[in-house]
Amino acid sequence: MSYPFQIKSQEEYNERYKESVEHPEKFWAAIADNFLWRKKWDKVLDWNFTEPKIEWFKGAKLNITENCIDRHLATKGEDAAIIWEPNNPEERTRIVTYNRLHKRVCQVAQMLKNNGVKKGDRVCIYMGMVPELAYAVLGCARIGAIHSVIFGGFSAQSIADRLDDAQAEYIITCDGAYRGEKVIPLKNVIDDALIGNKTVKKVIVYTRTRTPVSMIKGRDIWWEDEMEHAEHQVEKDGKVTFEAEEMDAEDPLFILYTSGSTGKPKGVVHACAGYMIYTAYSFVNVFQYQPKQIFFCTADIGWITGHSYIVYGPLAAGATSLMFEGIPTYPSCSRFFDIVDKYKVNILYTAPTAIRSLMGFGDAPYKNNDLSSLQILGTVGEPINEEAWHWYDEHIGKKKCPIVDTWWQTETGGVLISNLAGITPAKPSWATLPLPGIQPLLVNENGKEVTEPDEDGLLKGNLCIKFPWPSILRTTYGDHERCRKNYFATYPNLYFTGDGALKDKDGNYRITGRVDDVLNVSGHRIGTAEVENAINMHSGVVESAVVGYPHDIKGQGIYAYVIYTGHHDAELTRRDITMTVSRIIGPIAKPDKIQFVSGLPKTRSGKIMRRILRKIAEGETQNLGDTTTLLDPGVVEEIKNGKV
Ligand code: PRX
């Protein structure tokens, strides 16, 4: 692939940005010309944000896997598509060339077909970070099945809810997954999730850890057996083929569940063509990817970052993507950087929470590492504090690597606001400028655009986007009204991100964090209502309120105020409540602090005043704001005194 769409200078960025706003259809059609289409589009864009209806490249026909794999085979067949580093550094690594990836994806597609999976069927994928996870995702895309990857840290109950919501009929999983010293028994979790399930017909199990698993006759089948059988079907005279399904540009590619301010996660739906174009375009431009460079994104494919920047974006661009099975601190805190040296990684993309946790080890994470292969660094998932930014810059980038602070969301599919590495300037803790095609604006509570700077000369407001980009979500699975209400109803004709932001006089954006009841814990989104629902499941809990508080490593920690009627030991009860949350949602949602209270600050209409609870959790005792509307102001004193 050549890169006519790669921006090479600040001037070019300015020009492209201008074109993209003045003539968006022309702009995106030119970008789309860099891809492989079975048939070109009838219309570039049709949209309104009221329904919402968003259609990009309608009428075009394609298959994303032909773009991510087949079209590279002639020129890069023997180049590495995926480099896989196992949890245990002593174990054999795997280099998956584009040829090999093609073969494996064709096999998976055939295996799925053999088991009755058809275009449009939902396939839930619950696996560790093994190459087979990438094959599974791409195999679904090859036959047009809609994948829904669930992160390995979610519980059986969370999986059951997602299976039900997506009406999934197929699951691909592993016996277990390695994470540092732990083995997570994934298949057992799936078995629990399937109790009472009526839709799932087949569970395909890949063997990774040799963890004992139950295999139910007629339902559970082994990946290895199925793949071997499929191999004979796709390979003839040394040539591998599996005809990819022809997809419409707007056909759904995948569902990915994410938390919102209600108790139930939403299935964000992305469409084939727009998602492909935008992930590849943003990948090449933000990271300024050059052929042959090795790109290491440390995310898990269970999150959007892994979908867009381990799998689809890099592969669509013909890049080499490094996939890591383990965790940053195993077997030691220098693991990320050992990997960088081992493979001579050029671009490293990680989360501020990982940087902050490594900072706690002094110079141990990097002191024995060379790191000279690194050219570009990136961060994602949460605001990066200046201290972490400078640590990353000095000790990892050795002050010679541009750092891109990439702001985006599950719903946006790809990076919307970021500097372009080495092209547009970085500003520590600022995501900086919108990518071409992205039209952000800040609005006040009433939806009016903020135009008056504050005393620091900054505009401050809620971050919205006023024009669609190709990888914007299309709907929330099975409930379009929910999509409208969540993202398009707060402010008419705008997509509302849920984030607050500042804008400086040069047009740079700084994301300040969520303005809704959503927490960002270690870069993971968790709805407070979801955690409250889980806590309330514990017997003896009458009511609870969950808020975030600043946490040195996680960014935000989870603080739960709980009204509890039992008479048990407080510490034991805390542990039981934590276990309950782990069971209902997963270990990622465990509260960091639990305070038992006799009442919650409520208005006369019964609404919990979270503002007060948030302040107390943050350690503020004086300026709690107006408490006169409270039904029982006395409760605030008690809560203040009992802070944990
Ligand atoms: O609050 C923003 C924060 O993460 C949220 C999106 O979470 P999720 O959909 O899980 O996707 C995370 C990875 C793309 C946003 O609403 N966020 C993401 N990136 C940044 C950020 N906050 C500040 N700076 C960022 N670079």
Buried b / exposed e along 306-344 (16+ C-beta atoms within 10 A): bbbbbbbbbbbbbbbbbbbbbbbbbeebbbbbbbbbebe
Distance 283 CA to ligand 1 centre (A): 17
Query: In 3D, which of 581, 591, 593 has the Cα closest to residue 154?
Result: 581
Quote the pLDDT of residue 4.
62
How far, in Å, from the CA of 382 to the mean position of ligand 1? 5
Reading phi first (left if > 0) and then psi (alpha if -120 to 50, else beta), residue 139 is in alpha
Distance 380 CA to ligand 1 centre (A): 7
Q: Looking at residue 364, what is its pLDDT? A: 98
Q: Which of 434, 441, 436 is nearest to 419 (CA)?
A: 434
Task: List the residue whose alpha carbon is closest to atom 11 of ligand 1.
Answer: 409
Count of CA atoms in the C-beta half-sphere (13 A) of 237: 0
* Protein residue with least CA distance to atom 24, ligand 1: 383
Give the residue, by CA position, lying nearest to ligand 1 atom 15.
409
Q: Which two tokens stand for residue 298?
A: 């440390």
Exposure of 291 by Cβ count < 10 A (0-12 exposed, 13-18 middle, 19+ buried)?
middle
- Write out pLDDT tens, residues 566-578: 777 889 999 999 9
Confidence at 260, pLDDT banded by 50, 70, 90 = confident
Per-residue pLDDT of 33-58, as tens digits, reads 999 999 999 999 999 999 999 999 99
Q: Is the CB of 381 under 6 A from ligand 1?
A: yes
Q: Which of 307, 316, 310 is nearest to 284 (CA)?
A: 316
pLDDT exceeds 90 at position 274:
yes
CATH number of this structure's domain 98-245: 3.40.50.980
Gap from CA of 511 to ligand 1 centroid (Å): 9
Q: Is the dihedral of CA 101, 102, 103, 108 positive or negative?
A: positive
* Res 644 pLDDT > 90: no
Atom 26 (ligand 1): residue with closest C-alpha? 407
Q: Which of 525, 526, 530 to mutate to test the pocket of ligand 1 (most atoms within 8 A of CB)?
A: 525
- pLDDT tens string 6-28: 999 999 999 999 999 999 999 99
**Which tens digit of pLDDT belongs to each residue from 574-602?**
999 999 999 999 999 999 999 999 999 99
Q: Is 2 a residue whose pLDDT tops 50?
A: no
User: Which residues sit opposite 256 in a β-bridge?
Assistant: 268
Which superfamily, per CATH, for 518-641? Answer: ANL, C-terminal domain (3.30.300.30)
Cα gap 583→26, rounded to integer Å: 50
Distance, CA of 584 to CA of 281 (rounded, Å) = 38
**Looking at this protein, which amino acid is placed at residue 241?**
T
**What pLDDT is stored for residue 62 in this prediction?**
98
Q: Give percent of the chain with pLDDT exceeding 70.
A: 99
State the CB neighbour count (10 A cutoff) for residue 56: 29
Radius of gyration of the chain (CA): 24
- Which strand (E) or helix (H) includes residue 134? helix 131-143
**Whole-number Å distance between alpha carbons of 131 and 82:** 8
Substitution site in 407, 427, 490 for ligand 1 pocket (most atoms within 8 Å of beta carbon) = 407
Q: What is the pLDDT of residues 176-214, one digit of tens each?
A: 999 999 999 999 999 999 999 999 999 999 999 999 999
Mean pLDDT computed over every residue of the chain: 96
Structural domain boundaries of the chain?
98-245, 518-641
